Structure 1
């Protein structure tokens, strides 16, 4: 598996790049020693401060717990204040790193470089699949493609037995009932990413701005993913977009998606999301791993599930305080360890596939 770069070609990770493996030392204490179980070099600042994306909050909790077990006396205090607040806190030197649903914009990158006195890095550390959850009596394996989903969420496809839906679901008992669209009434990175998917995968048939507010113009709003989950579960013939963990917990079926390559509909699973991550294009330069998410949403890879939210950790490439740099590096190394990655499935996230983990490893090990 190989990653693509839209910008000028940059050499791939050298074969001898440092990968995570167990170290021989039994000393798991802070102070520059290598923690045995996860190949993390502990040390540096004892308590890091970070803020940002709520979408990755549960993942960060698992990472922090593993960090505290691996590096005795070290911790991270993470405030799930939202992506915008997290980026602003980092730029304003109020935190040591930020969690964000989006990479830094050009003007933010300039401000972050001034704050760091070095370029900032966007590191996509947490991927969370988005489910198109539905409640259609008698239908347990609904299939959709990008164009049809886009027309459902902008109101052009208004009944379940519409020919566009029926063509993807031959022989299924689709009712003549109106489709009830449920959407997030609050601002949300999930909403923005889902609308970006609808535009990308439908060749802009969705025709609405990809913003943190829902712009489809149809349906009923509910606050938060739990609100959309409850509305969908309690409303026959309804559909909504929610993080996969909410669909799983509520036992709501998730639509199988025909990706841009055509072929068979793809079920939402960690394995199938990982196939899409493996084909995503990187637009950042050097150790910056900013992603072109359109390449994920428009993936043509067979068996790849294309709807996922990517969240970043935004860090300085070189910290003015070396102790902070060492601790940030140790925390992110821990996040990629087998132990930390093993906590992700329970929260509805997807463990980083091995090929992409190597890219992240090289970037993280460059932090100083």
Structure 2
């Protein structure tokens, strides 16, 4: 589809911490990209690529450099794979990514503690124009990887669950509190729903995943979800956990739980996921294919080199999963550190290119539509 404009840590070296880039850490702290077995391009049952191939990807490499990034946990799994592949092809260039969450990643990038940030929601106009790292320029949002936000649940005896936006909003706002509530029964007439308390789990940290879920609830059920769509959780009640991995762990361990996280976390931990009733002929399950359909329907609403996308949360289109996020890489259009710029451009060109995008469905992410990917690669080539 043609898009329209409307005017844990991963890496071999240092960490992006509270004050900047640290030194080499040995044991503890990093999720090392090497030794993980992330070599092939086909997905395994744990959400990672298989080890079917040992051939290094064809990448236009920088000669040297160390690039630090931090942010979104949504892209943690694919960033681990990208870094491993890039470093195999492009030694001695080194890339490190610290999955501290979108909020912390944005803060680190804005103050110049990292070369790029990862965020599941675009940087605001105010922050984009006041980024310390972008001398003579401004920060821009580059969409890089998409994926569905899965609603995972742990309800004994129920392996197929349908919910709609209104019911989800009431569950996460503690207005529906048991699994045998009439609203849930109406959507699941054949299910044996237990009289079990609902334990809704949300993110404790500042999270772009939270922002995207709240944007969906506010957009699809505004009469039920009156809260702002930002990175802090606004629903009443429930329990909190750090990161997508923490929410997924809580859902796995507590019967009656429901939470939200990227599909790869549900696949890894074998968590049942909700099918969403959007008014389409069939309730939709989260998958790379149904998420890609949602991304293909977005519009580019950023200005200049900024490529912010906008979703239609009220869509009833067939095969379009409605709770989808885009992870953006935050970079400077001008004023990038000349010591890291060649490696930064080389790495991001790989992730946005055919080599980096084609493996995404195999690890439960959604690739960018080619019309968007082409724009992203063009902007990367113009970074200075």
Q: Could you say which TM-score interval applies, normalised by the shorter chain?
A: 0.7 to 0.9
Q: Structure 1 regions of 5+ residues with no counterpart?
A: 8-35
Instruction: Sort the Cα spacing of 1:250 and 1:87 in 2 relative to 1 into closer, same or farther, 3 A.
Output: closer
Give the Cα–Cα distance (whole angstroms) in 1 for the partners of residues 296 and 2 of structure 2: 7
CA contact (8 A) 1:345 1:351 kept: yes
User: Which residue does 1:5 correspond to in 2?
Assistant: 5
- Aligned partners of 1:356 and 1:200: how far apart in 2? 23
Task: Spell out the pairing of 1:28-107 with structure 2 (5 A cutoff).
Answer: 40-43=59-62, 45-107=64-126
Q: Alpha carbon RMSD of aligned pairs, Å?
A: 2.8
SS in 2 for 1:285: coil
Partners of 1:274 and 1:350 within 8 A in 2: yes
1:313 aligns with 2:329: yes
Secondary structure class of the residue paired with 2:272: coil
- How far residue 272 of structure 1 moved from its aligned partner, in angstroms, is 0.7
Instruction: Single out whichever of 62-71 and 219-228 deviates more from structure 2.
Output: 219-228
3-state SS in 2 of match to 1:182: strand
For each residue in 1:282-335, what CA deviation from the matched residue of structure 2 results, as whole angstroms up to 9, or x when unmatched?
Answer: 21023311122xx25333332111213322111122346556433222111111
Structure-2 separation of matches of 1:321 and 1:232: 42
- Give the TM-score, by structure 1 length: 0.80
Offset at 1:38? 6.1
Summarize the Cα distance change of 1:226–1:122 in structure 2 as closer, same or farther, 3 Å threshold. Answer: closer
Q: 1:116/1:55 Cα in 2 relative to 1: closer, same or farther (>3 Å)?
A: farther
Deviations 1:129-148 (A, max 9, x none): 22111122332221111111
1:92 and 1:115 in contact (8 A); partners too: no
Identify if the C-alpha distance between structure 1 residues 129 and 314 changes in structure 2 by more than 3 Å, giving closer, same or farther. Answer: same
Distance 1:352 1:53, change over 3 A: same
Change (3 A) 1:197 1:280: same
Correspondence for 1:15? none
Query: Secondary structure of the equivalent of 1:5?
Result: coil
2:317 maps to which of 286, 289, 301 = 301
Instruction: Output the CA distance in 1 between the equivalents of 2:209 and 2:133.
Output: 30
| Match 1:325 to one of 341, 353, 370 | 341
**Change beyond 3 A, Cα 1:60–1:92:** same
Aligned counterpart, 1:249? 268
Equivalence map 1:175-254=2 (5 Å) = 175-254=194-273
Unaligned runs of 5+ in 2: 8-54
Q: CA 1:91–1:65 in structure 2 vs 1: closer, same or farther (change >3 Å)?
A: same
Provide closer, same or farther for how the CA distance between residues 84 and 251 of structure 1 changes in structure 2, counting only shifts above 3 A: closer
CA offset at residue 348 of structure 1?
A: 4.2
Deviation at 1:270, TM superposition (A): 0.8
Q: Is the CA contact 2:152–2:259 (under 8 Å) kept in the aligned structure 1?
A: yes
**How far did 1:213 drift?**
3.7
Please state how far the C-alpha of 1:154 moved relative to its aligned partner.
1.1
Q: What is the deviation of 1:269?
A: 0.9
> How far off is 1:68 after superposition?
1.8
Structure 1 position 47, deviation (Å): 1.8
C-alpha distance in structure 1 between counterparts of 2:239 and 2:62, whole Å:
50
1:240: Cα distance to partner? 1.8
Q: Is the 8 A contact 1:319 1:325 kept in 2?
A: no
Partner of 1:132 in structure 2? 151
In the alignment, does 2:302 pair up with 1:262? no
Aligned pairs for 1:335-354 within 5 A: 335-345=351-361, 348-354=364-370
Distance of 2:92 and 2:249 partners within structure 1: 41
Give distance in 2, aligned partners of 1:313 and 1:71. 20
The answer (yes or no) to whether the contact 1:39–1:337 under 8 Å persists in 2 is no
Given that 1:68 and 1:75 are in contact with CA atoms closer than 8 Å, whether structure 2 keeps it comes out as yes
User: Radius of gyration: which is bigger?
Assistant: 1
Contact 1:127 1:308 in 2 (8 A): yes
